[in-house]
A = this chain, B = another copy of it.
Amino acid sequence: MSRIAVIAGDGIGTEVITEARKVIDAVAPGFEYTEYDLGAARYHRTGEVLPDSVLDELAGHDAILLGAVGDPTVPPGVLERGLLLKLRFVFDQYVNLRPSRLWPGTTSPLAGLKPGEIDLVVVREGTEGLYAGAGGVLHRDTPAEIATEESLNTRHGAERAIRDAFARAANRPRRKVTLVHKTNVLTHAGGLWARAFQAVAAEHPDIETEYQHIDAAAMFLVTNPQRYDVVVTDNLFGDILTDIAAAVTGGIGLAASGCINPTRQKPSMFEPVHGSAPDIAGKGVADPVAAVLSGAMLLEHLGNAEAAGRVTEAVAAELASRTPGATLRTAEVGDRLASNA
């Protein structure tokens, strides 16, 4: 029986995770859950972000389900570097997977787009690049201050993310992979990515490929998001592109993600893209759909594609049945999804 670590976190994180578990339990009963109290609340209470003992325990699980961590009073970087990115790096979650679909019943801010017309997935590299944390500051807060950030890229790291993207494209109807980088300016890292991409593409002559600069891709996600199938890119560009992709498909309220270690030797982590949303926390009005869809990705990762498919279909039906503008109740949405899945 699979063992799931649950980090519900702060704000609406706890609310949406309750519903995600409800739905997972309905379609795949019997998982063993362990709850871990991590996030802003614990940090304020104890000063701890991610004790080593907790990290060791997390390593013993098959997957991690995370809600959202943070609140505006935690200094920037503390929970991001100390918890979220630490988990991604320590568990070598090198595929940060972020699907975007324009679901029936949802409205894109883009004029004239119809549900179904956007169906893309971004394979964002999750363990390298500017997220490595390399860099420093000298002469802080003086006129002589300098700061550096270093993007570290390995062929190993780029290639395994690119391989994953091609494998996914091979299982999708359109069979297309777009590499996004900025090879005309970031010639060193861009060159490495382009070389790795070419090498993997050569093994997949049946898959269509294209390359775009990050600025152009950001633009095309707005003017022509239909053109994308699988997009593979580095950690920072993926961060930006997936938020744009979420925006054009109805907002990060619906966006699910997985930080995946495809080798399964270490736990993968599944989390909605949205944050802890302190402004609506505690009111029971947060939309749990992104958390539930992250749960479906967890099920799929653990080999239960059938249950994942049922959850996804229940979400599709839920979204299609919504009246635009109507307020929703978090628990009611979870109940409906659990009984329909």
Q: Which residues of A contact B (CB under 8 A)?
A: 76-77, 80-81, 85, 107-112, 130-131, 133, 135-137, 139-156, 182-192, 195, 214-216, 218-220, 222-223, 236, 239-240, 242-244, 246-248, 251-252
Contacts and interface: CB of A to CB of B under 8 A. Distances in A.
A141 B244 contact: no
Given A108-B111, A182-B239, A219-B243, 15 more contacts: A77-B184, A77-B190, A80-B185, A85-B185, A109-B223, A135-B186, A137-B192, A139-B155, A143-B156, A146-B153, A147-B189, A148-B188, A214-B240, A215-B243, A218-B244
A215 B239 contact: yes
- Taken together, the copies of this chain in the complex come to 2
B185 A81 contact: yes
Q: Closest 6 A-B residue pairs measured CB to CB?
A: A145-B155, A147-B192, A111-B111, A215-B243, A222-B247, A135-B188
A148 B191 CA distance: 10
B154 A146 contact: yes
11 contacts: A76-B183, A109-B222, A111-B112, A145-B195, A147-B189, A149-B151, A182-B236, A215-B239, A215-B243, A219-B244, A222-B244
Nearest to A225: B109
A257 to B, nearest CB: 12
Pick from A240, A243, A248 the residue with the most CB of B within 10 Å: A240
A80 B151 contact: no
Contacts of A85: 185
A108 B219 CA distance: 12
B147 A149 contact: no
B222 A240 contact: no
A74 to B, nearest CB: 10
Contacts of A191: 137, 140, 147
Contacts of A156: 143
A333 B153 CA distance: 47
B151 A148 contact: yes
Contacts of A139: 155
Nearest to A74: B184
B135 A77 contact: no
A140 B222 CA distance: 35
A239 B185 CA distance: 11
Contacts of A248: 222
A243 to B, nearest CB: 4
B135 A189 contact: yes
Contacts of A251: 223
A85 B186 CA distance: 12
Q: Indicate the member of A76, A111, A152, A182 with the most B CB atoms within 10 Å.
A: A76
